[in-house]
């Protein structure tokens, strides 16, 4: 079960944004759907431990990551949360092998392929990255970068996987292919996944429950099929929350 009830006030000069998120779900695949600036990424950052809420609590499968009343705030490295950022976060000066192994062992600068632990090599094989281990991020495609980032994240054996718009940088053909690959991956993992997206098709394929966010708040919870159906009924090419029947 995932329990999130957090609040955070952000200010930039005269502009103030208040994040006030409350959700409880037993779904193993959750999508946060909403427009840019609605608070989706801030929510993931709070879960990952990259941003500290002003108040509230975050509990994943019975493990408390944050609780302001009890004074609990696990450091990011203690949370067991893998966070795949929108730009994949690969280190440009490290090879694919070094990127995947980063975080598994301390002090690695130029690890040999054979030095990668078994848990990393499993995902190297699963994502067909064997021939790319000596390459650098600048030499591989967007889809390959995504696979490298996923391999690095999953090699850490996380208790939760966070995906921030994982398909937004891909063209239509590769987007569909990677959508199917991530869906297949989700079926193999025994960990919950929280996905950020503004694409109803991503939500329909990769989530079991959708939470719609607007202006820092959850305004609707629905099944992905409902989101996809309303997207088809919308007259605008790119559906926003204004096109949803928000109850």
| pLDDT tens, residue by residue, 148-188 | 888 888 888 888 999 988 777 667 777 777 778 788 877 87
- Which of 6-20, 92-106, 172-186 is most confident? 6-20
Task: Give the pLDDT confidence of 71-86 residue by residue, as tens digits.
Answer: 999 999 899 898 888 7
Q: Which of 220, 221, 217 is nearest to 20 (CA)?
A: 217
User: For position 205, what pLDDT does the model report?
Assistant: 85
Whether 119 is covered by a domain: the verdict is yes
In a domain? residue 201: no
The closest of 203, 88, 242 to 152, measured between CA atoms, is: 88
CA–CA separation, 90 vs 99, rounded Å? Answer: 6
Q: Measured at the alpha carbon of residue 11, what is the angle toward residues 9 and 13, in degrees to the nearest 5?
A: 165
Distance between CA 75 and CA 71 in Å, rounded?
13
Residue 117 maps to a domain = yes
Q: Which two tokens stand for residue 23?
A: 């959700």
Q: Which of 26-35, 202-211, 234-243 is least confident?
A: 234-243
In a domain, 11, yes or no: no
| Structural domain of 142 | 94-157
Q: Where are the alpha helices (DSSP H) in the chain?
A: 40-48, 96-101, 118-126, 142-155, 172-188, 200-206, 224-233
**What is the structure's pLDDT at 233?**
65
For residue 231, pLDDT beyond 90: no
**The total number of structural domains that make up the chain:** 1
Query: pLDDT at residue 243 above 80?
Result: no
Do the domain assignments include residue 42? no
Q: What was the pLDDT predicted at 247?
A: 40
A 10 A CB-CB count for 79 gives 22
Which of 155, 239, 167, 246 minimizes the C-alpha distance to 207? 167
Would 118 be classed as within a structural domain?
yes
Any domain includes 242: no
More confident residue, 196 or 198: 196
User: Within a domain: residue 215?
Assistant: no
First vs last C-alpha separation in the chain: 24
**pLDDT for the residue numbered 232:** 65
In terms of DSSP bridges, do strands 55-60 and 63-67 run parallel, antiparallel, or are they unpaired?
Answer: antiparallel
């Amino acid at each position: 079960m995932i329990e999130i009830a957090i609040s955070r006030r952000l200010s930039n000069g005269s502009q103030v944004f208040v994040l006030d998120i409350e959700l409880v779900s037993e779904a193993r695949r959750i999508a946060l759907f909403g427009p840019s600036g609605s608070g989706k990424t801030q929510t993931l950052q709070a879960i990952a431990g990259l941003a500290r809420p002003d108040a509230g609590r975050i509990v994943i499968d019975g493990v408390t990551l944050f609780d302001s009343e009890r004074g609990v705030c696990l450091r990011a490295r203690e949370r067991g949360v893998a966070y795949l950022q929108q730009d994949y976060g690969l280190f440009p000066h490290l090879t694919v092998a070094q990127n995947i192994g980063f975080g598994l062992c301390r002090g690695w600068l130029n690890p040999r392929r054979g030095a990668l632990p078994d848990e990393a090599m499993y995902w190297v094989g699963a994502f067909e990255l064997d021939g790319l281990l000596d390459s650098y991020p600048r030499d591989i495609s967007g889809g390959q970068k995504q696979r490298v980032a996923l391999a690095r994240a999953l090699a850490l054996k996380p208790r939760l996987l966070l995906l921030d718009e994982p398909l937004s940088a891909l063209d239509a053909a590769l987007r569909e292919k990677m959508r199917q690959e991530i869906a297949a991956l989700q079926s193999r993992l025994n960990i919950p996944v929280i996905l950020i997206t503004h694409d109803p098709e991503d939500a329909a394929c990769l989530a079991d429950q959708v939470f719609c966010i607007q202006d820092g708040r959850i305004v609707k919870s629905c099944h992905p099929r409902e989101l996809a159906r309303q997207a088809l009924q919308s007259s605008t090419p790119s559906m926003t929350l204004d096109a949803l029947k928000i109850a």
